[in-house]
Amino acid sequence: MATPEWRYDTAQDLNQGMVERLRRCPREPDMLVYGLRWAAAFGIRATLRGLHRLKIVGRENLPRDGSFVLIANHTSHLDTLCLLSALPWKWLHRAFPAAAADCFFTRSSRIAISAAVVNALPFDREAHYRQSLNLCKELLAAPGTILIFFPEGTRSLTGEIGEFRPGIGAILAGTDIPVVPCHIAGAFEAWPKGKILPQPGRLRLAIGSPRTYAALSPGKDSAHLICRDLRRAVLELAAVHRTQ
Amino acid sequence: MSTSIAVQTETFRVYVLLTGGLLLAAGALLTGLTYILKRNVQSIWTTYRGWLVMVPLILGCIYAGRATTIVGCTLVAIFGMKEFARATGLYRDWWMTGAAYLAIAAVSVVSLAPDPFTGQPGWFGLFAGLPVYAIAFLLMIPILRNRTQGQLQSVSLAIVGFIYIGWMFGHLGFLANSNHAYGYLLYLIFAVELNDVAAFLFGRLFGRHPLRCNISPNKTWEGSLGALAVSLAMPWVLGFSFPHFGPVQRILTGLIVGIGGQLGDLSISFIKRDLGIKDMGEVIPGHGGILDRIDSLIYVAPLFLRMVNYYYGLW
C-alpha cells in the first residue's frame, strides 16, 4: 500500500521579494511582520493616549464576531490610527484599512509602513476601482475581517465632512455585513493634510450603532442611498461631539 | 576568535585576499564579457552581485569573532527554517513553527555556553544531545494544545526542519569554538561553494549522463565527478587551513565536501520537487532562497565536524 500523500499548503507568495509580498492583499501571515505590527500598534496606542488624549466612546457598538466595516470621516492620517486603536488587540491582523494605492503603494518605504504597520489594503481609486471593490468584498466574505473605509475617498481639506462616494454602498448593498459609522474629532487640527508631522491635540472617537443593508438590492440607487444614510449617521455623531 | 586574533591569523588574511581576488577577477571577466565580447550575462551579474554582498557579510561575521559567527549561523538557520516552513505550509501552524524557532535558538545558546565540565567554549555534550530535547519539546506542542488533526504532519515537518536546518547547519556555528576555527570555517565555506561551481562548470563542459534525472535534471555524472576531483585536490591546495591534517583526514575532507556537498544539494532539490516549487525563496537575488544557497553546507558541516572531532577533538 502506498503512503498517503501529505497536503502541502505552500505560501502563495513564496517566490516574491519582501516588498512584493507586502504589496499583495490579502497577505500571507508572517511572524516578523506581525511582531512589527504589534510593536507599532503598542507605540501608536501609547502616543494617541499620551500625546493626543484619545477618548473613545461607544466601543460596545463594535460587533463581537463576524466580519464588519468601520467607516468614518477623513481629515487626517490619524483617523486610521484612531480606528485601529479602538479595536481589540486580537483583531489587529484582521483589520484592513483601505488606503489609496496611488499614495501608499508606490514607493517601497511607504509600502513597508502601510502594509507592515497598519495592514493597509491597496485601494485603486482610478483604473482598477472595480477590482478594489471586489477585493474588499472577498476579504469581508472571510469570517472575522474588519474593513476600515473612508467613504469620502480622500482627506478633507477643510475639516468638514464631504460627500460619500458610492463605493461603500456597492460593497454593502444586499449583504448582511454590519457597518459601524464613526466620527473622529480633533484629527484635522492635530494633523491636517499638507503637514509633515502631527501636533499634540485632543482626539475623540465616537462609535455609532451598527447597521446592515441586506434588504437593499445591489445597484447604483442602493449605493447612493447607503451613502446618504451613512453620512447622516456620521454627521449625527459629529453633532454629539460638537455639543460636548 | 576575536577581531585582533583574526587580523593576526594568517589563514584569515589569506582567505580575505583569496576571496577578494576571486571576486575582482570574476568582476573583470564579467565586465569583459559584457562590454568587449557583448555577451548577455545579465543573470550572472545578478548572481555576482549576490556574492558581493554575501562574501563581506560572511567574512565580517567571522572577523568579528566567535559569538557573531554563531549568532550569524543561527540567524541564517532561522531564516532558512522560515523558508522551509513557508514552502511546506508548516508556517500556518504558528505554534509548531515558533517551537522550531525556539529549538534553533537553543542550538545557538548551547554553542555559545561554556562546557560546565571542561570550561571549553561551547557545550558539546549538550549540543550533540540537543535533538533529543528538541524532539521531546516539539512532540509536546500538540499535547499542550490538545490537537490531533494534521499534527503528525506538523510535528514531522518541524522535526525535519529543526534537525536538518537548525541542528545540522548549527554545526557550522559550533566550529567557531574550535582552536582551528578560522581554517575550518573558511575552508568549509570556500570549498563547498567551489564544489558547487565546479559541478556546474564540469557539467556544462562535459555533461552527458544525468545524475538523478527525477530530482535535478541538469546535474550530470560528469559534473559530479569533476567536482569530486576538485574537492579531493582542495585539502592539499588549501592545506594551510588545517596544517595538522594527515593524508587520511585530507582525503576524508575531500570526500565529505565532494560527495556530501552534492548530496546536500540533491536533498533540498528532492524536497523542492516534491513540493512542486523551483526555489525556496527570493531572498538572495540570483541565488534563490537561503536554503538554496546553504543546501550543501547543511550536509557537509556536521560530517566535517564529526570527522575532526573523531581524529583531533575540537579544542
Asked if B277 and A15 come within 8 Å (Cβ–Cβ), the reply is: yes
CA B187 to chain A, closest CA, distance in angstroms equals 31
Dist CA A200 CA A186 (whole Å): 10
B280 contacts on A by Cβ (under 8 Å)? 14
The tens-digit pLDDT sequence of chain B (315 residues) is 778 888 788 899 999 999 999 999 999 999 998 888 888 878 888 888 989 999 999 999 999 989 999 999 999 999 999 999 999 999 999 999 999 999 999 999 999 999 999 999 999 999 999 999 999 999 999 999 999 988 999 999 999 999 999 999 999 999 999 999 999 999 999 999 999 999 999 998 888 888 988 888 889 999 999 999 999 999 999 999 999 999 999 999 999 999 999 999 999 999 999 999 988 888 887 788 899 999 999 999 999 999 999 999 888
Tell me how far apart the alpha carbons of residues A88 and B4 are, in angstroms, rounded to a whole number.
52
Interface of B with A (CB under 8 A): 82, 86-89, 91-92, 94, 97-98, 101, 153, 274-282
- In A, residues 25-84, which contact B (CB 8 Å cutoff)? 28-29, 31
Using pLDDT thresholds of 50, 70 and 90, give the confidence band for residue A226. Answer: very high
Q: How far apart are CA A44 and CA A209, in angstroms?
A: 25
Beta strands B210-212 and B216-220 are: antiparallel
Of all residues in chain B, the percent with pLDDT exceeding 70 is 100
Nearest by CB to residue B277, choosing from A9, A14, A28, is: A14
Give the count of alpha carbons within 13 A of B195, CB side only.
34
Nearest residue, CB atoms, A16 vs list B92, B274, B282: B282
Among the partner-chain residues B82, B89, B279, the one whose CB lies closest to the CB of A9 is B89
CB pair distance less than 8 Å for B281 and A14: yes
Chains A, B: CB contacts within 8 A come to 44
Helix and strand tally (H, E) in chain A? 10, 7
Neighbour-count burial for A99-114, b at 16+ CB within 10 Å, e otherwise: bbbeebbeeeeebbeb
Place of cell 455585513: A177
The DSSP call for residue B288 is: B
Inspect the interface and report whether the beta carbons of B86 and A16 lie closer than 8 Å.
no
Task: Output DSSP code: residue B179.
Answer: T
Report pLDDT digits (tens) over A42-98.
999 999 999 899 999 999 999 988 899 999 999 999 999 999 999 999 999 999 999
- From residue B75, how far is each of A56, B64, B105, B235 by CA, in Å? 42, 15, 9, 29
CA terminus-to-terminus distance, chain B: 13
* Least Cα separation, residue B84 to chain A (angstroms): 10
Task: Name the 3-class secondary structure at A139.
Answer: helix
Q: Assign domain A28-243 one CATH number from 3.40.50.12780, 3.20.20.140, 3.40.50.10800, 3.40.1130.10.
A: 3.40.1130.10
Contact with chain B for residue A15, Cβ under 8 A:
yes
Residue A2 is predicted with a pLDDT of 66
Task: Give the sheet arrangement for strand A55-57, strand by strand.
Answer: A55-57, A204-207, A179-185, A68-72, A146-149, A95-100, A121-123
Helix intervals (H) in chain B: 3-8, 10-31, 42-64, 66-88, 94-112, 124-145, 151-161, 169-174, 181-206, 221-237, 247-255, 261-275, 290-311
3-state SS of A69-86 is EEEECCCCCHHHHHHHHH
For residue B84, the model assigns a pLDDT of 96
Q: Which of helix, strand or coil describes residue A208? A: coil
Chain A interface, mutation test: which of B91, B92, B283, B287, most A Cβ atoms within 10 Å?
B91
Closest by Cα among B16, B18, B17, B20 to B3: B16
For residue A195, the model assigns a pLDDT of 86
ipTM: 0.78
What is the pTM for the complete model shown?
0.86
CB B191 within 8 A of CB B301: no
